[in-house]
Structure 1
Amino acid sequence: MQVGSDILSHGGRQLVITHDSTATATPMTFSLFLPPQAERGAVPLVTYLSGLTCTHANVTDKGEYRRSCAELGLAFLAPDTSPRGEGVADAEGWDIGLGAGFYIDATEMPWSANYRMWSYVTDELPALVAAEFPALDMGAQAITGHSMGGHGALTVALRHPGRFRSVSAFAPIVAPSQVPWGEKAFSHYLGADRDAWRAHDAVALIEGGARVPALKVDVGGADPFLERELRPELLEAACHNAGQRLELAVRPGYDHSYHFVSTFMADHLAWHAERLR
């Protein structure tokens, strides 16, 4: 690991770290906030998955999570959204390729050479931080994310129900198999077999019997992607039919940006903290 920065904030440490990833065969960068309580004992871990076009830096710079994490005693882990570097496949447009990994393991060339974000965020990165930062209580984990990262948080939690005590999302893509962003990404990364897509579709997973202990979703009422790409009503219907408890809030006037995310970040972190005690 190479520590790019280690900065004091709200009594805790905000680190940015780069390491060579086995999963993606590239260097990967993540940020990790360790609250002041980590100096005295174990602290729960909240993982945050970012959205399209983002890196670890977007939430680190704009997410406004450190004060709440310091008060609540939560560590906050934020990885990048895709592999990067010389020779890594890319494509025209901001919704495929670099910055748009969709938290899946690609099976189609040329993407399959490096786009293994599922393995990275579910296996490699948790093992790395657990080994390097013994203050992290890996038995007390929560996960959240924004947009594409909200999709990632939902699917990771649904497929690892024993790992996370709670999952939340800001403006998630809840049914990527049914919306243009997801259809474009999945057809490139996973091929034409739509049955293979269902393993990375939160609505399909819930319809198939997957469950999580606690689920919270916020969306902005003025989000320009609400009706075409996010489709929260599909998640609401799937949860209702399956008996999966869901706390869904539509926030009037808010858009898709980090102005929205940062406004409700403290609320989400407090909600997770209650379930991580």
Structure 2
Amino acid sequence: MCQIIGRALGFRVFMVGKNSQKIAAYFDNESGTFTGLHTLLHDVGRTTIGWQVSDPGNAAPTDIRDRLIWEFVKPNAGTEMILEMTLYGLSEVNQVHTVRRVVCELSTVPLPNETGAESFRQTLLAKGLFFATNQSIGCFNIHHETTLLECALRCHQQAACRSFYYEAEQKSCHISKFVDSRLPAHLRDEKTTWENVWDRLGSQLFQRGLVNNGWIYGWAKFRFRHKSFVRPDLYHTDMKATVLSEIRTSRRKIYEKRYLSFKFTTLYVSSFAAS
């Protein structure tokens, strides 16, 4: 809803996150109001700090300085949840089957450049790729894309995309919109192999404490140029990039010590108008 309103007005608008505490001064919260505070990416348990936010850009998770007021003193659930603002403070609710009002905030962070080049980084999440329960499902758009690069391009061309996941066997591309998120729990039970999350540089995935210090073995660094009309030279560029990635991965044992200092895999994507 906030994205639709923002587009109509020509601004970048998002569901209020870091400033959620200010809602109480302006709105009657008897029926509850959704906020952009959540633990969809990183489960912080029953602590009052470390909640991720919907604010665009490199917005840090909540800490003691935010002075959040909780309805029941502190969180109770300890799983992936979102927060609503009530008359008495913040309270956790499940994402599934929950309907509340929404307050939108005007952002001063520019929209991503959808026509220029962009970098993505891959990393390991501290508690795995999937939700622990079915009470939240994130906010995903699902696409069928032939390659990882095409999935990255899909994210690159959507301002709302925060990160994406790719499963090569089913060619499934999951675009996480508005907030960084783990994958729905039901995907964990399917016999598929998902890539670790790819994230737009500068978003919350790389805040200290949200990322596992595990190593990513293999190094991929390439550029992909996409036009509206597929031409042989563009296809060749795509293939070279893909082969480079596969070679690096297949020779992982050989290069394991050499690349041990790299914790992330970087992916470069560009989009150009058709000529």
- After TM superposition, the score normalised by the length of structure 1 is 0.30
**Which has the larger helix fraction?**
1
Q: Which has the larger radius of gyration?
A: 2
